[in-house]
Amino acid sequence: MSKADRIFIDNCREILTKGVWDTDLPVRPRWEDGTPAHTAKRFGIINRYDLREEFPILTLRKTQFVNAVDELLWIWQKKSNNVKDLKSHIWDAWADGEGSIGKAYGYQLGVEHRYAEGLFDQVDRVLYDLKNNPASRRIMTNLYNHHDLMDMHLYPCAYSMTFNVSGGTLNAILNQRSQDMLTANNWNVCQYSVLMHMMAQVSGLEAGELVHVIADAHIYDRHVPIVEELITREPLPAPVLEIDPAVTDFYAFTPESFTLHDYRWHPLKEKVPVAI
């Protein structure tokens, strides 16, 4: 059975039984009808996924793997902040009339900085160090640029990746300030697991452990019944991720480079409302 399911179940049970509700506080998110979207939360959840054991995708419900990969490539490969470069419509609510989400996500990764070796943006610096300085403890990215926050239509949630090479294994820590457990938790886990596989493959390494650190892990009030039903389900076996072995250039990956074999999931019984 999928270990990602077990981690998700444990997280959700902890939030539902020990979480703190924010119903006595003013909150920014709203439901489509304008009602405040309140949450129960746990602070400081840390999950570990060993990518050598399985690909961590939920089977309790379907994770839209293709769209998740497309968004990952939109941010990390295209370094775009325009929804017109994205196949799905998950960012439409945050885009202006030109399709821009401001100086957020992909924009930050594409800004060049000067190093002793020359100019690099954040992604290219990671790729350079993985090949040339694998013992470095400075291989990281950060999207939370305070100088540009006012020009971002949404502050980054998953904001930092720290990469670390141990022998021939690539490990990483994903830092996330905020996590909507039902709609976004496994989406992000899948994305950054794929990113680790991409970075590892083009650097001659093996993808190892992804450590996911969540500052504010929460479940929205209208999601509680759905989550309560999900965590009663029996997890199914994890699928197998296949990556095109011919790709050796990070920028040559496409959504078609990734295939999930034998992915089975339980269907959702109702549509999930989205807070914005």
Q: Which residues are identified as catalytic? A: 157
Report CA torsion sign: 239, 244, 248, 253: negative
CA dist., res. 150 & res. 234, Å (int): 44
> Could you write out the DSSP letters of every residue in 34-71?
S-B--EEEEEEEEEEEETTT-----SSS---HHHHHHH
* Residue 219 marked in a binding site: yes
* Residue 218 marked in a binding site: yes
Report CA torsion sign: 193, 197, 199, 203: positive
* Residue 92 marked in a binding site: no
* Residue 275 marked in a binding site: yes
* Residue 64 marked in a binding site: no
3 state SS for 134-181: CCCCCCEEECCCHHHHHHECCCCCEEEEEEEEECCEEEEEEEEEEEEC
* Residue 178 marked in a binding site: yes
**Cβ density class 2-40: b for 16+ within 10 Å, e for less:** bbbbebbbebbeebbeebeebeeeeeeeebeeeeebbbb
| Known binding-site residue numbers for dUMP | 137-138, 177-180, 188, 218-220
| Known binding-site residue numbers | 137-138, 177-180, 188, 218-220, 275
